[in-house]
Amino acid sequence: MDQKRIGSFLKELRKEKELTQEQLAERFNISDRTVSRWENGNNMPDLSILVELADFYDVDVREIIDGERKSEVMNQEEKEKMLLVAEYADEEKTVLLRRLRIISIIGLCSMVVGFVMMSLVGYNTLPVADYVMGVAFGVAMGALICSAFYSTGVLAKIRKSKNKILAKIMMAVCGMICAVLFVIYFAKSF
């Protein structure tokens, strides 16, 4: 930290506000001699006053500590960081939507197969048709549950907890449970 640089920056900020050292001292309940010491680089403001000065001058505390304005540079850096964050969020959203589409297509196809098998069961006495219908509806229900988990963020919470295997197992178990329930439901006529 260059106290002389900080002092001249504080002096510049005070002059921009068109204040005297006495007026600034009165504003912060300190002596004008303290303000003079800051501006000459002999002393530094206390941290609490430094924060108040930053608010008063509408600058960042880092700018005061560095003794120069960095708003343009900082704004450019912040814009670049925000763009990176936005790109990351878009990529994450794209991946999520792609997974939801795949799961939805699987569920829709399974549902269509289930309804086709349901319409054929009346004409077909094969037990295989009942099982296929049950599995198709079970997969459709599993896909619906998976979509709900994805869209509500339950899977994201599980993944953040570093239990990716748990998430995959949970999805597989949900699908199998749904398939078994539908097989049992539609095959109970045997």
Summarize pLDDT for 11-35 with one digit per residue, the tens.
Answer: 999 999 899 999 988 988 888 898 8
Domain boundaries, the chain: 3-69, 88-186
Which residues, 6+ apart, have CB-to-CB distance to 40 below 8 Å? Answer: 4, 7
Residue 178: CB atoms within 10 Å: 22
Q: How would residue 163 be classed by pLDDT, with cut points 50, 70 and 90? A: low
Smallest CA-to-CA distance from 57 within 18, 3, 4 is with 18
Average pLDDT, the chain: 78
d(Cα 118, Cα 129) in Å, to the nearest integer?
8
The pTM of this model reads 0.44
The CATH architecture one would assign to domain 3-69 is: Orthogonal Bundle (1.10)
Smallest CA-to-CA distance from 140 within 102, 171, 177, 178 is with 178
Q: Which two tokens stand for residue 54?
A: 């930053």
Q: Are 10 and 19 in contact (CB under 8 A)?
A: no
